Amino acid sequence: MPLSGDWTLEADEIVALPVDDLALRVLKDARDNSEWNWQNWLKRARTAYREKPDAVLALTEAWSWLLNRGLVVWNVGQDSAGSFLVSRQGHAALDQGLLWIRAVQRLDIELVPVLEAKARPQFLRGDFEAAALLAMKEVELRVRTMAGLPNSLTGTALMQQAFRPGKGDQDAGPLVDTTADGGEAVGTMELFKGAIGLFKNPPSHRRVDYTDPTEAAEVLLLADLLMRLLNKIEES
The domain segmentation of the chain, as residue ranges, is: 11-96, 109-235
CA distance 52 to 43: 13
Which regions in the chain score pLDDT beneath 70?
1-5, 168-169, 201-210
CATH of domain 11-96: 1.10.10
pLDDT at position 210 is 67
Q: Kindly list the distances between the CA atom of residue 139 and the CA atoms of 143, 165, 177, 181, in Å, as whole numbers in the listed order.
A: 6, 20, 18, 24
Q: Provide the pLDDT for residue 188.
A: 95
> Residue 1's pLDDT is what?
40
> Across all residues in the chain, what is the average pLDDT?
90
- CA torsion 121-65-2-57 (nearest 10°) is 170
Contact at 8 Å (CB) between 224 and 111? Answer: yes
pLDDT at 2: 44
